Structures are given as structure tokens and as C-alpha cells.
């Protein structure tokens, strides 16, 4: 008997709609409201509501990924090129776009999924680096937002060679092919 009354109670609450702020998943307006606003529910109490924008999660994940030694840059080749151009334009939003370059997030009411595009320093173990980045991103996002990170997908798009720094800084992008090979 107690089992049948226990199963009827949640169904009557769902039919009557007496829990507008309680469950989160049972909200009739939860899907449409989250689709129209960029902010997601992080905390809902009788004293107020806290929401976290997807861009905040994106910045936290980007910063956490860059903290790991062996990550040279974030983003694919095209996004890094546009980022370099954007940084040189006054008012182009250089610092915020470089923080979120190579980071895509999908944020729900209680969970987040993160995709990262990274460039690895030559010589670093990619498998160990990916584990460290994943662990740091999950820890940072969960600690700061309270959202459960369900996955962090990492795509290694390039490897940075130390010689690439020498070519960029050597003589302003001029050809160094013949002079560096034979003297």
C-alpha cells in the first residue's frame, strides 16, 4: 500500500504543477527559457536564483586548459590566425577572444560538456597532457560553477616546434631557407 501511494504523489505534483521551482527537470518553462537566454541555472533557493552564462564556463575552461605545461596554444590554425589579427586591431577584443579561442561549451541547468582544440609543445606526451588538461578543466569548472562536467573532448590540431619560434622572431618573416641551411 505504501508503495502505491508513494508512486501517486510525484504524479499528482507533476499534474498540479505545485513544484514550479523545486525539481528543475519538471519545469514546463525550463526548456524554452534556457533556449532564449544564454544564462543557465546554477542555484535556485527561496532567497534568489543564481545563473551562469555559457561564456563564463567557456572562459574558465580556456584558462584551466592553458594552465597546463605543454599546451602551446588553443584553437585551430584559422581561429589562431584570426585571433592574431583581432589582437592587433584597437578595440578588437583581443584578451577575451584569446581566452575562449578553441573552447566550445554546451551548458545545461546542472551539467556542462566541453570541447577543446589545442596545440601541443613538441616532446610532450599527448596522452598524459590530455589527461592533465581534462582533469584541470573539470576541477576548475566544477569548483567555480557547481556544474557537473560530464565530458571534456580534446582535439590536438597541431604540434608546436621550437624552430617555429626562431623563424617568427628571427628576421620578421623573411625567408631563411637558404641562409640557415648552408654557410
Q: What is the pLDDT of residue 92?
A: 59
- This prediction has a pTM of 0.63
Q: What is the pLDDT of residue 11?
A: 39
DSSP string spanning 46-108?
TTEEEEEEHHHHHHHHHHHHHTSTTEEEES-HHHHHHHHHHHHSTTS-HHHHHHHTTEEEEE-
**Average pLDDT along the chain, 183 residues, taken 10 residues at a time:** 43 39 34 42 78 94 96 77 61 62 92 96 96 98 96 95 68 49 67
Q: What is the pLDDT of residue 58?
A: 96
* Number of domains present in the structure of the chain: 1
Taking each helix axis from N to C end, the angle separating 126-145 and 54-66, rounded to the nearest 10 degrees, works out to 140
Q: Does any domain span residue 180?
A: no
Q: Does any domain span residue 149?
A: yes
What are the angstrom distances between the C-alpha of 5 and each of 14, 17, 20, 77? 15, 18, 22, 60
Q: What is the pLDDT of residue 51?
A: 87
Q: What is the pLDDT of residue 163?
A: 84
Q: What is the pLDDT of residue 78?
A: 61
Q: Does any domain span residue 116?
A: yes
Quote the CA–CA distance of 138 and 140 in Å, as a whole number.
6
Helix, strand, coil shares, percent, the chain, to 5: 50, 25, 25
Domain that holds residue 160: 53-74+102-170
User: Looking at residue 158, which CATH number applies to its domain?
Assistant: 3.30.70.1350
Amino acid at each position: 500500500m505504501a508503495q502505491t501511494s508513494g508512486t501517486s504523489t510525484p504524479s499528482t505534483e507533476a499534474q498540479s504543477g505545485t513544484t514550479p521551482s523545486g525539481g528543475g527537470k519538471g519545469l514546463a518553462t525550463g526548456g524554452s527559457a534556457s533556449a532564449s537566454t544564454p544564462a543557465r541555472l546554477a542555484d535556485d533557493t527561496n532567497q534568489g536564483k543564481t545563473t551562469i552564462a555559457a561564456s563564463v564556463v567557456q572562459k574558465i575552461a580556456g584558462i584551466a586548459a592553458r594552465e597546463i605545461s605543454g599546451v602551446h596554444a588553443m584553437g585551430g590554425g584559422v581561429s589562431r590566425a584570426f585571433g592574431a589579427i583581432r589582437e592587433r586591431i584597437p578595440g578588437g577584443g583581443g584578451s577575451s577572444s584569446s581566452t575562449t579561442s578553441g573552447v566550445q561549451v554546451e551548458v545545461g541547468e546542472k551539467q556542462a560538456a566541453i570541447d577543446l582544440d589545442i596545440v601541443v609543445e613538441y616532446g610532450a606526451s599527448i596522452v598524459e597532457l590530455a589527461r592533465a588538461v581534462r582533469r584541470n578543466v573539470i576541477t576548475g569548472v566544477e569548483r567555480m560553477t557547481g556544474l557537473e562536467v560530464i565530458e571534456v573532448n580534446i582535439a590536438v590540431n597541431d604540434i608546436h616546434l621550437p624552430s617555429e619560434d626562431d623563424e617568427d622572431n628571427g628576421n620578421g618573416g623573411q625567408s631563411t631557407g637558404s641562409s640557415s641551411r648552408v654557410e
